[in-house]
Amino acid sequence: MKLLFASANAHKITEIRQLLPTGYELVSLAEAGFHEDIPETADTIEGNAILKAQFMADRQPLACFADDTGLVIPALNGEPGVYSARYAGEARNADDNMDLVLQKLEGKEDRSAYFVTVIALYLNGQMHLFEGRVEGTILTEKRGTNGFGYDPIFQPLGFDRTFAEMTSDQKNSLSHRGRALAKMMEFLK
- Give the structural domain span for 166: 2-188
Q: In sequence order, what are the beta bridge partners of 155?
A: 137
In angstroms, rounded to a whole number, what is the distance separating the alpha carbons of residues 114 and 174? 12
> Of 68, 99, 110, 160, which is the active-site residue?
68
CATH code of the domain covering residue 66: 3.90.950.10
Query: Would you list the DSSP string of 143-185?
Result: --SSS-TTGGGEEETT-SS-GGGS-HHHHHHH-HHHHHHHHHH
CB atoms within 10 A of CB 125: 6
In angstroms, rounded to a whole number, what is the distance separating the alpha carbons of residues 145 and 164? 5
Give the pLDDT of residue 41.
93
Give the pLDDT of residue 52.
96
Annotated catalytic, 68? Answer: yes
Per-residue pLDDT of the chain (189 residues), as tens digits, is 999 999 988 888 988 898 888 899 999 999 999 998 898 899 999 999 999 999 999 999 999 999 999 999 999 999 999 999 999 998 889 999 999 999 999 999 999 999 999 999 999 999 999 999 999 999 999 999 998 899 999 999 999 999 999 998 899 889 999 999 999 999 998
Give the pLDDT of residue 189.
84
For the chain, how many structural domains are there in total?
1
Give the pLDDT of residue 142.
97
